[in-house]
A and B are shown apart, each in its own frame.
Chain A
Amino acid sequence: MYADKLFLDYSIPKTLQLKLSGDWRIFSALPTVDEVIAHFSAHPEVENITFSVSENIEWDSGLISFLRHVTRESENRNIRVNLEGLPQGAQKLLAMALQVSEKIIQRPIVHEPFLERVGAQALRVTQSTLSLLNFLGDIVVSFARFFSGKVYFRREEFITILQKCGSDALPLVSLISALVGIILAFIGAIQLRLFGAQIFIADIVGIAMVRVMGAVMTGVLMSGRTGASFAAELGIMQTNEEIDALRTLGISPVEFLVLPRVMALVIMMPLLTLYADIMGILGGFVISTGVLGLNPVEYWNHTQSAVKVAHLWIGLIHSFVFGIIIAVAGCLRGIRCARSAVAVGEATTSAVVTAITCIVIATAIITFVCQVLGV
Chain B
Amino acid sequence: MEKILHPLIEVRNLDLDYDDYLVMRNLNFKVNKGDIFIVMGGSGCGKSTLLKVLIGLKKPDKGEVLYSGENFWASEETRQQELMRRFGVLYQGGALWSSFSLAENIALPLQLYSSLNARQIRDVVRLKLALVGLVGYEDFYPAEISGGMCKRAALARAIALDPEIIFFDEPSAGLDPISARMLDDLILELRDILGATIVVVTHELASIFAIGDNAVLLDTESKSVIASGAPKILLNDSRDSRVIQFLTRGERQGAG
| B97 closest partner in A (C-beta) | A341
- On whether the beta carbons of A100 and B117 are closer than 8 Å, the reply is no
Among candidates A32, A65, A103, A105, residue contacting B127 with C-beta atoms closer than 8 Å: A65
- On whether the beta carbons of B136 and A105 are closer than 8 Å, the reply is yes
Cβ–Cβ < 8 Å partners of B127 in chain A: 61, 64-65, 68, 97
- On whether the beta carbons of B120 and A97 are closer than 8 Å, the reply is no
- On whether the beta carbons of B98 and A97 are closer than 8 Å, the reply is no
Among candidates B113, B123, B135, B138, residue contacting A65 with C-beta atoms closer than 8 Å: B123
Rounded to whole angstroms, the CA-CA distance of A29 and B135 in the bound complex is 25
- On whether the beta carbons of B120 and A65 are closer than 8 Å, the reply is yes
Stretch of B20-28, B44-52, B139-147 at the chain-chain interface: B139-147
Contact with A along B150-176 (1 / 0, CB 8 A): 000000000001100000000000000
Q: How far is the CB of A65 from chain B (nearest CB, A)?
A: 4
Cβ–Cβ < 8 Å partners of A2 in chain B: none
Cβ–Cβ < 8 Å partners of B130 in chain A: 96-97, 99-100
| A69 closest partner in B (C-beta) | B123
Stretch of A4-12, A20-28, A255-263 at the chain-chain interface: A20-28
Q: A40-98: which residues lie under 8 A (CB-CB) from chain B?
A: 60-62, 64-66, 68-69, 89, 92-93, 96-97
Rounded to whole angstroms, the CA-CA distance of A92 and B191 in the bound complex is 13
Cβ–Cβ < 8 Å partners of A65 in chain B: 120, 123-124, 126-127
Contact with B along A171-213 (1 / 0, CB 8 A): 0000000000000000000000000000000000000000000
Rounded to whole angstroms, the CA-CA distance of A62 and B125 in the bound complex is 11
Contact with A along B177-195 (1 / 0, CB 8 A): 0000000000000001111
- On whether the beta carbons of A61 and B98 are closer than 8 Å, the reply is no
B137 at the interface (CB under 8 A from A): yes
Cβ–Cβ < 8 Å partners of A29 in chain B: 115
Q: B109-128: which residues lie under 8 A (CB-CB) from chain A?
A: 110, 113-117, 119-120, 123-124, 126-128
Give the B interface residue count (CB, 8 A). 31
Cβ–Cβ < 8 Å partners of B114 in chain A: 26-27, 62
- On whether the beta carbons of B162 and A25 are closer than 8 Å, the reply is yes
- On whether the beta carbons of A61 and B162 are closer than 8 Å, the reply is yes
Cβ–Cβ < 8 Å partners of A314 in chain B: none
Q: How far is the CB of B60 from chain A (nearest CB, A)?
A: 29
A267 at the interface (CB under 8 A from B): no
B66 at the interface (CB under 8 A from A): no
B78 at the interface (CB under 8 A from A): no
Rounded to whole angstroms, the CA-CA distance of A105 and B131 in the bound complex is 17
- On whether the beta carbons of A32 and B110 are closer than 8 Å, the reply is no
Cβ–Cβ < 8 Å partners of B161 in chain A: 26
* With A25-B162, A27-B113, A89-B195: A103-B136 Cβ-Cβ less than 8 Å: yes
Among candidates A32, A97, A104, residue contacting B136 with C-beta atoms closer than 8 Å: A104
| B137 closest partner in A (C-beta) | A105
- On whether the beta carbons of A32 and B117 are closer than 8 Å, the reply is yes
* With A89-B195, A100-B130, A101-B135: A107-B110 Cβ-Cβ less than 8 Å: no
- On whether the beta carbons of B135 and A30 are closer than 8 Å, the reply is no
A340 at the interface (CB under 8 A from B): yes
Contact with B along A335-353 (1 / 0, CB 8 A): 0000111100000000000
Rounded to whole angstroms, the CA-CA distance of A341 and B98 in the bound complex is 7
- On whether the beta carbons of B124 and A62 are closer than 8 Å, the reply is yes
Among candidates A27, A62, A101, A342, residue contacting B120 with C-beta atoms closer than 8 Å: A62
- On whether the beta carbons of B99 and A89 are closer than 8 Å, the reply is no
Q: How far is the CB of A220 from chain B (nearest CB, A)?
A: 29
| A92 closest partner in B (C-beta) | B193
- On whether the beta carbons of B120 and A32 are closer than 8 Å, the reply is yes
Cβ–Cβ < 8 Å partners of A30 in chain B: 115-116, 120
| A59 closest partner in B (C-beta) | B162
Q: B211-251: which residues lie under 8 A (CB-CB) from chain A?
A: none
* With A26-B116, A62-B116: A107-B139 Cβ-Cβ less than 8 Å: yes
Q: How far is the CB of B57 from chain A (nearest CB, A)?
A: 19
Among candidates B98, B123, B194, residue contacting A68 with C-beta atoms closer than 8 Å: B123
Cβ–Cβ < 8 Å partners of B139 in chain A: 104-107
Q: How far is the CB of A313 from chain B (nearest CB, A)?
A: 48
Cβ–Cβ < 8 Å partners of A62 in chain B: 114, 116, 120, 124
| A94 closest partner in B (C-beta) | B127
- On whether the beta carbons of A89 and B193 are closer than 8 Å, the reply is yes
- On whether the beta carbons of A26 and B98 are closer than 8 Å, the reply is no
Cβ–Cβ < 8 Å partners of B98 in chain A: 340-342
- On whether the beta carbons of A96 and B131 are closer than 8 Å, the reply is yes
- On whether the beta carbons of A60 and B99 are closer than 8 Å, the reply is no
Rounded to whole angstroms, the CA-CA distance of A66 and B127 in the bound complex is 11
Cβ–Cβ < 8 Å partners of B117 in chain A: 32
| B117 closest partner in A (C-beta) | A32
Q: How far is the CB of A70 from chain B (nearest CB, A)?
A: 11
Cβ–Cβ < 8 Å partners of B126 in chain A: 65, 97, 100
14 more CB-based (< 8 A) A-B contacts, given A62-B120, A101-B135, A105-B137? A26-B114, A26-B162, A29-B115, A30-B116, A30-B120, A64-B127, A65-B126, A89-B193, A97-B126, A105-B139, A105-B140, A107-B139, A340-B143, A341-B98
Interface residues, chain A, with chain B CB atoms under 8 Å away? 25-30, 32, 60-62, 64-66, 68-69, 89, 92-93, 96-97, 99-101, 103-107, 339-342
Show 6 residue pairs from A and B whose CB-CB distance is below 8 angstroms, ordered by the A residue. A27-B114, A60-B194, A65-B126, A93-B131, A97-B127, A104-B138
